Amino acid sequence: MISRLCFCLTLISFGVSSHAQTIHSPDRKLTLQFQLNAAGEPTYQLRFGAKPVVKPSRLAILLQGQPGFDKGFTIAKIDSSVHDDTWTPVWGEVKQIRNHYRELAVTVQQAAVQNRQLVLRFRLFDDGLGFRYEFPAQDNLKYFTVQDELTEFNLPANHKAFWIPGDYDSNEYTYSTTRLNAVNTTPIEPIQLKSAPTTVQTPLMLKADDGLYLNIHEAALVNYPAMMLNVNTQSFGLSSQLVPSATGAKAYLQTPEHTPWRTIVVADNAPAILASKLILNLNEPSKIADTGWIQPQKFVGVWWEMHVNKAAWNYSDASNLKLAGTDWAALKPNGRHGANTANVKRYIDFAAKNGLQSVLVEGWNVGWEDWAGNWKEEVFDFVTPYPDFDVSELQRYAAGKNVKLIMHHETSGSVTNYERRMDAAYRFMKAHGYDAAKTGYVGRIIPRGEHHDGQWMVNHYVHVADQMAQNRLMVDMHESVRPTGLHRTYPNWLANEAARGNEFNAWSSGNPPEHETILPFTRLMGGPMDYTPGIFQIKLEDWNPERNKDKQVHTTLAKQAALYVTMYSPLQMAADLPEAYEKHLDAFQFIKDVAVDWDDTRILAAEPGDYLTIARRAKGKDEWYLGAITDEQARTQTVKLNFLTPGRRYTATIYADGKNADWEKNPMAYQIRKVQVTSKSALKLQMAAGGGAAISFKGL
Amino acid sequence: MISRLCFCLTLISFGVSSHAQTIHSPDRKLTLQFQLNAAGEPTYQLRFGAKPVVKPSRLAILLQGQPGFDKGFTIAKIDSSVHDDTWTPVWGEVKQIRNHYRELAVTVQQAAVQNRQLVLRFRLFDDGLGFRYEFPAQDNLKYFTVQDELTEFNLPANHKAFWIPGDYDSNEYTYSTTRLNAVNTTPIEPIQLKSAPTTVQTPLMLKADDGLYLNIHEAALVNYPAMMLNVNTQSFGLSSQLVPSATGAKAYLQTPEHTPWRTIVVADNAPAILASKLILNLNEPSKIADTGWIQPQKFVGVWWEMHVNKAAWNYSDASNLKLAGTDWAALKPNGRHGANTANVKRYIDFAAKNGLQSVLVEGWNVGWEDWAGNWKEEVFDFVTPYPDFDVSELQRYAAGKNVKLIMHHETSGSVTNYERRMDAAYRFMKAHGYDAAKTGYVGRIIPRGEHHDGQWMVNHYVHVADQMAQNRLMVDMHESVRPTGLHRTYPNWLANEAARGNEFNAWSSGNPPEHETILPFTRLMGGPMDYTPGIFQIKLEDWNPERNKDKQVHTTLAKQAALYVTMYSPLQMAADLPEAYEKHLDAFQFIKDVAVDWDDTRILAAEPGDYLTIARRAKGKDEWYLGAITDEQARTQTVKLNFLTPGRRYTATIYADGKNADWEKNPMAYQIRKVQVTSKSALKLQMAAGGGAAISFKGL
């Protein structure tokens, strides 16, 4: 169904007055007003009913070596239209997505700059606003360089904000929750190259005292740097701050071109923020015609055992090696190399036995002896296995058990090296039966001076997704730029990391219990995260008493299970070791059962930083899965099961925190019970501090 | 024959005094002295007999974030040896090359910096000195960053210098000839990113009043930036200045590593400078085992007709196109596109008829509509021909005439784009019968912030040579870093441009008549140049009266023929149009005849900036070719033919300037005469202003 009504007001005589242009969202709750001020500066404001969401705020792009797109504008043309259609994602949280908005496109023109034109395009949905700058093809603008973008989001009050520090290269921080006037990233140790003290990353989650929830991010980030937000701690104004290129300029563009969409999701309740499909709707449809080969999946992997110091990525303890010229077979093995043939077979066996589709193997290829921290270009070649990793034998063995191996391409940030070896690497994958890869970008980027979140790298990630697609390969990117809904366009791009994942619990101060209640409101707004949930051996000293002293996951075991529902991804790892799961096969049943692709999703309860309860219906089945999590506060929650098919009976298997469970003192206490329920039932869930609950509903 | 005598003085007790270490060249004419001064700073000096060549000069490398390799050294170990062997180049100016030197390797150590060690290795040949810094593998030095190199060449007097301005990206300048105290690049318009006013490029040619000739350059430039030279116009000291990376740092290194060799070729006569094989001797032997497929060759090409505005690289006059998304077949042809199938066939016919091996075609692939000057990443894809260029038909047609097509890969400086498309580009070449490519790097480099002559690009050129070699492809690089003898190591790397070639005569103030008398003493010291000689239609107005007004080549026609001998390259273009040659088939006979690979070379007369006469014996034949050129002065030169085989009679065909020939007023006047000669004969050559002579000697 596509209906499109178009109201085109072409203003033939230039120099139209700066009368405000106003549009409403389809449900008329949101109102957007565009206006040129007295200086000919474009401004916009947004209201939710009578409540101001964004006060009058400027829109401007400054250019290098020529006058900016900032002032002296008159309106040349105004187009308005309504769009309403419904589309079917290749995979996702719901079966179909309605894309319903009113659009306002204002063409503005600078008489003093050879009548140069800019289009400001707004799309107003029931759940928020997207807008972008468009640079039409025109005689006086072909190639140009963006020096700065000065988009404002002037907020009306001192909202509560859930933020991480602005960083050109990393999003792997814990969240700070403060009022806007208290934003200060100074005390936070930078992960890579941190921005100014009041600059924060998007998606930025905000809560107003008047009951509104706001999320500010961007959609369809292509050929442009990621946007950070500068916080004015006095006025509560936010303004865009783009990640720079190696030269300091922000973006090198050619008309016709446009920026990504700047997005403001707005609702008067927190669950509606999570249910928003605004960012996906602002992305382009799939560029992949035949998507039958794209498979949401669960996987295990030779991975966590390295994080818990039970094994190593590196085959030997030699150091200062060079990729070319090292005789890898001659190195003395350290005896701790995880990616050895026998160990991988053990994971393949476990996956086959438990119906998991695939096995990731990290550390399979030469170069891990001194791979990180050296800003070194030639680290990995992506095609040479260590002597103890038998590619052909594992290909044969995995195929015999109907299990796929997932390739690992760690670039160590040396992207030039990856790009020049990419063709060979993908040919190697195809030749050895791999159909998915996890990529990694740990460390400083090469080309030196570029950043993970700058224009050049943004284009690189898209290039990888595109090249993988052309080879019918799926991809999961780690340390990449935060996602912006591009998985709609490249549905083979299953997931990203681009946030602080579960592994931080293994070797840092960890992720506080609230962490997973915030991520869906922030990082996950842009797309699925490979959070690597499912750690059942919560206390990590058991794996390596000396090196993991006091290290633990900051949740209960039941909460780890719940994350498979609350942390949406079509690619979910069962991240713990097979031997950890073998000790808790009753609880592992939930991970075996839970779906990774859905026909429906209901956000039953949510408050950022506090709690989250989500139910989802498995793709093509009358099977529901529910995840409920809490922060460091124990909570009791009653869940109405009215999402179930009326009149049908279900067995609900409830994986709950045990009595006296506590994320810190008693994290592994859980209880499993089965009850019969209908859509009229309600369940009372008791969640421990840092705990949660997971429930499967299977029709009788 | 290899003889190697080794004198190893390992000084067991550290803290040896700073006694000078002195070695002599095998013929004892040159003396090198190494010494640590009172501050523990390494210094060296060089003498020719009693004459100082380089006064005491410092050797230092400064590092980023740690103490430099500059002072506080003591000597830990001294090794001295003699090396003498003879090797056979795959192609070259002579059949065999003797590599005879005395080596001094001094290991110095910094007690204050954890006993960090550095090796200073000197090789003293009869014709000069090479030395380099070596960073051995050691516990306290693995990965490190070079902030600066401070190598001094303190000259004893105010020599005459032949220089071009220091530039991070280009060597395409005319030469200035001044005393050192008058070096000033300020008035010279930069081609790309010019360095400080007293910084000049290497190879720097110098002439001392005491009769010595010096050439300062480097050998085996790999994984390090190119070296420029800062001139102290008061003291006449030169010091190294490295081309920076995008970050400003000069080189990112890992032990064990070494710098390129710094080279000082010294002689008391100019011809000996040109005969020096010191730079080749300091390069590594061929990395290519089977070299049978590497073929020195002459070629014509769809090239000059674009420079003289008779045709165009671009297929249409559209602009502001994007590589992806443009329907190239739908563009309106401009009717001037040179690389069309019919025109290429004309060149194939001409090559076949005249025994030239190959045809270069520029402008064959889509992207030339707005290819330069935009710092744009996606310009060319290297695999998509324009609609009027039929790849398969030309493959068939050329093969039928036993002619090879030479591929053209213009990157427009977007090297990331080239590297990520390289595999596909080389597969395309192999599939369509190409075995050689000309590459180009016009414009600013991407990765943005990097430079043509910085470490990253230096590695790129080597990567291209290596990847081409792995695909059995030959390569000719334009706008690359100036060569440093790497064609010994990669003999498929036939030639480079990296200087101001003949095409500047087509559209700039041109190359002055002295230009070709300087290039062999400067740019060509590092390796062959694809100068593109052989322009017979000297006045260019004939091709396009409107656009080429007053444009002409700044030589006589006879001098253009002579360049095939004086400007050594295994890859020589007959650069003019077939229709130009058809008018002068008698003179073109020399270009048809002249060899491109040689068993012997004799520098019969030479003075930089003035004149040059060289005779060479064709590979495997008793056939000699002689080229003589002069600057803007007319000259008469008597050449003794004692290089010919004694007792044998030869027909000498002499292509000389005509009576009243003059590069400016009457450049196309030439005369051809045949005489019989023996090794006892002498020929008197009369060269016009800007003229020359070419002679073939064929045995009777």
Residue whose C-alpha is closest to residue B587's, from B687, B654, B664, B683: B654
Can you give the three-state secondary structure of A134-177, one letter per residue?
Answer: EECCECCECEEEEEEECCEEECCCCCEEEECECECCCCCCCCEE
Q: Is the dihedral of CA B325, B329, B331, B334 positive or negative?
A: positive
Of B226, B254, B281, which residue sits at a domain end?
Answer: B281
Q: Is residue A577 within 8 Å of A537, Cβ to Cβ?
A: yes
Is residue A324 located within the same domain as residue A246? no
Is residue A263 located within the same domain as residue A389? no
Counting one residue from chain A and one from chain B, the pairs whose CB atoms sit within 8 A come to 85
Catalytic residue among B93, B479, B503, B514: B503
Task: Calculate the alpha carbon distances from B434 to B386, B420, B528 in Å.
Answer: 17, 20, 22
Question: What CATH number has the domain bearing residue A466?
Answer: 3.20.20.70
In a domain, A168, yes or no: yes
Task: Calculate the alpha carbon distances from B240 to B85, B207, B379, B461 in Å.
Answer: 31, 19, 35, 22
- Picking from A245, A255, A420, the nearest residue to B419 by CB comes out as A420
Report how far residue A680's alpha carbon sits from residue B681's, in angstroms, rounded to the nearest whole number: 117
Is residue A252 located within the same domain as residue A302? no
Is residue B257 located within the same domain as residue B302? no
Report how far residue B371's alpha carbon sits from residue A65's, in angstroms, rounded to the nearest whole number: 21
- Picking from B143, B247, B319, the nearest residue to A448 by CB comes out as B247
- Picking from B255, B320, B447, the nearest residue to A255 by CB comes out as B320
State which amino acid sits at residue B452. H
pLDDT of residue A288: 98
Cβ B448–A246 below 8 Å, yes or no?
yes
Nearest-neighbour CA in chain B from A139: distance (Å):
10
Helix (H, G, I), strand (E, B) or coil at B561: helix
Of B561, B594, B627, which residue sits at a domain end?
Answer: B594
Round the CA-based radius of gyration of chain B to a whole number and report it.
Answer: 25
Q: Is residue B166 within 8 Å of B229, Cβ to Cβ?
A: yes
Residue of A nearest to B421 (CA): A420
Report how far residue A563's alpha carbon sits from residue A556's, in angstroms, rounded to the nearest whole number: 11
pLDDT of residue B91: 98
Nearest-neighbour CA in chain B from A393: distance (Å):
28
Helix (H, G, I), strand (E, B) or coil at A540: helix
pLDDT of residue A18: 54
Task: Calculate the alpha carbon distances from A661 to A555, A581, A610, A630, A670 in Å.
Answer: 10, 19, 18, 13, 7
pLDDT, chain B, mean: 96
Is residue B234 located within the same domain as residue B381? no
Of A231, A253, A281, which residue sits at a domain end?
Answer: A281
Give the number of domains in chain B: 2
* CB neighbour list of residue A128: distance below 8 Å, 6 or more residues apart: A30, A215, A263, A264, A265, A266, A267, A276, A278
Cis (ω within 30 of 0) for the bond into A447? Answer: yes
Cβ B254–A459 below 8 Å, yes or no?
no
Cβ B246–A377 below 8 Å, yes or no?
no
In a domain, A476, yes or no: yes
* CB neighbour list of residue A358: distance below 8 Å, 6 or more residues apart: A297, A298, A299, A300, A351, A403, A404, A405, A406, A436
Is residue A432 located within the same domain as residue A482? yes
Q: Is residue A311 within 8 Å of A337, Cβ to Cβ?
A: yes
For chain B, give the percent of residues with pLDDT over 70: 97
In a domain, B666, yes or no: no
In a domain, A612, yes or no: no
Torsions phi, psi of A33, nearest 5? -125, 130
In a domain, A275, yes or no: yes
In a domain, A611, yes or no: no
Q: Any catalytic annotation for residue A503?
A: yes
* CB neighbour list of residue B289: distance below 8 Å, 6 or more residues apart: none
Is residue B324 located within the same domain as residue B204? no
Round the CA-based radius of gyration of chain A to a whole number and report it.
Answer: 25
Report how far residue A159's alpha carbon sits from residue A452's, in angstroms, rounded to the nearest whole number: 29
* CB neighbour list of residue A297: distance below 8 Å, 6 or more residues apart: A356, A357, A358, A404, A436, A570, A571, A572, A596
Cβ B376–A416 below 8 Å, yes or no?
no
How crowded is residue B186: how many other Cβ atoms within 10 Å of its Cβ?
Answer: 9
Cis (ω within 30 of 0) for the bond into B89? Answer: no
Is residue B263 located within the same domain as residue B311? no
Tokens of residue B688, six digits: 């016009």
Is residue B207 located within the same domain as residue B311? no
Residue whose C-alpha is closest to residue B377's, from A395, A251, A39: A251
pLDDT in tens, B251-309: 999 999 999 999 999 999 999 999 999 999 999 999 999 999 999 999 999 999 999 99
B219, β-bridge pairs: B261
pLDDT of residue A588: 98
Q: Is the dihedral of CA A274, A280, A286, A287 positive or negative?
A: negative
* CB neighbour list of residue B402: distance below 8 Å, 6 or more residues apart: B352
Helix (H) or strand (E) holding B392: helix B391-400
Q: Mean pLDDT, consecutive 10-residue segments, chain A of 700 residues?
A: 44 50 98 97 98 98 98 97 98 98 98 97 98 97 98 98 98 98 96 93 98 98 98 98 98 98 98 98 98 98 98 97 95 98 98 98 97 96 98 98 98 98 97 98 98 98 98 98 98 98 96 98 98 98 95 98 98 98 98 98 98 98 98 98 98 98 98 98 98 97
The residues of B whose Cβ lies within 8 A of any Cβ of A are: 137, 142-143, 245-247, 252, 254-255, 319-320, 322, 370, 374-377, 416, 419-420, 422-424, 447-450, 456, 459, 463
Per the structure, the complete domain to which residue A426 belongs is given by 298-594
In a domain, B274, yes or no: yes
Is residue A274 located within the same domain as residue A303? no
In a domain, B638, yes or no: no
Beta strand pairing call for A404-410 and A436-440? parallel
- Picking from A247, A370, A422, the nearest residue to B449 by CB comes out as A247
pLDDT of residue A235: 98
Residue whose C-alpha is closest to residue B170's, from B444, B573, B362, B494: B444
Low-confidence ranges of chain B (pLDDT < 50): 1-17
Is residue A121 located within the same domain as residue A166? yes
ipTM of this complex prediction, to 2 decimal places: 0.94
Q: Is residue B308 within 8 Å of B544, Cβ to Cβ?
A: yes
The residues of A whose Cβ lies within 8 A of any Cβ of B are: 137, 142-143, 245-247, 252, 254-255, 319-320, 322, 370, 374-377, 416, 419-420, 422-424, 447-450, 456, 459, 463
Question: What CATH number has the domain bearing residue B66?
Answer: 2.70.98.10
Is residue B219 located within the same domain as residue B363? no
What's the predicted TM-score (pTM) here?
0.96
- Candidates A254, A451, A460, A470: best to mutate against B (most CBs of B within 10 A) is A254
